[in-house]
Amino acid sequence: MTLPNIHLAVALDGAGWHPAAWREPSARPGELLSAGYWVDAIAEAERGLLDFVTIEDGLSLQSARYSEPDDRTDRVRGRVDAVLIAARVAPLTRHIGLIPTVVVTHTEPFHISKAIATLDYASNGRAGVRVRVSASPQEAALFGRRSLPELDLRDRDDPAVRQLTTALFDEAADYVEVIRRLWDSWDDDAEIRDAATGRFVDRDRLHYIDFAGDYFSVKGPSITPRPVQGQPIVSALGPNCALNCSGVMNWRYCGEPFV
């Protein structure tokens, strides 16, 4: 019998997932926002021969409450941008996969496709992205482009909760479709780079994606050439929806592309 391949990874979030992890003698709480802290953590994971790391991120301060900020001062609060941390670590590692988290509800697929393609170049083909959706009214207010209702997302029988979660996941699916099409909008051989003839790119090998859906209308093409991998890994926590304390919905990582 052939056994399935097993991929080992670690999910990184600040000093650790336990609320008191930052108080451990080796936790280095004074360095949590420094590049060196993350370089050391991911380098250690690489020395341990893990396949990849995910880097947690969010659009609001961490909270012990279900759907709103808290006033606690005994737990880590504040974080750095996961995509930028991955880009900093990329040239200092050799084989480990780098999968930062992106909340897709309030970001644009064109920007993220470009950021992850750039990360794939910086890491020589080790980039991925973990998508999350947010149902938090507080996070929506940070952007001012949409409003979300105050709902108890734990009540799965509430029709309003079902309607909201369905819409957010449908939007996320369109988001992933857009970034995948943008990565494919440059052919592998679109860059000629021939100084003798003065041709750097073959414009016929760049393609419009002309995506038009319920949530996005993106013409394309990308302004970043096709990533090293072609299609970087898109992961999610799933397949069963889970909710964290800030009202952000996740899928449990299943080791397969999101769509």
| Mean pLDDT of the residues in the chain | 88
The most confident of the ranges 75-84, 114-123, 236-245 is 114-123
Q: What is the mean pLDDT of residues 109-137?
A: 96
pLDDT at position 70 is: 84
**Which pLDDT band holds residue 258 (cuts at 50, 70, 90)?**
very low
Peptide bond connecting 257 to the previous residue in cis, omega within 30 degrees of 0: no
Task: Please report the beta strands in 119-246, taking only residues with DSSP state E, as ranges in sequence order.
Answer: 128-134, 191-194, 199-201, 211-212, 217-218, 233-235, 237-243
Measured CA distances, 168 to 5, 9, 54, 105, 136 (Å): 32, 27, 22, 7, 11
Structure token digits, residue 66: 């279900």
Domains and CATH numbers, the chain: 9-148+224-253 (3.20.20.30)
pLDDT band at 254 (very low <50, low <70, confident <90, very high): very low
Q: For 76-95, write each residue's pLDDT tens digit.
A: 999 999 999 999 999 999 99
Q: What are phi and psi of 51, to 5 degrees?
A: -80, -40
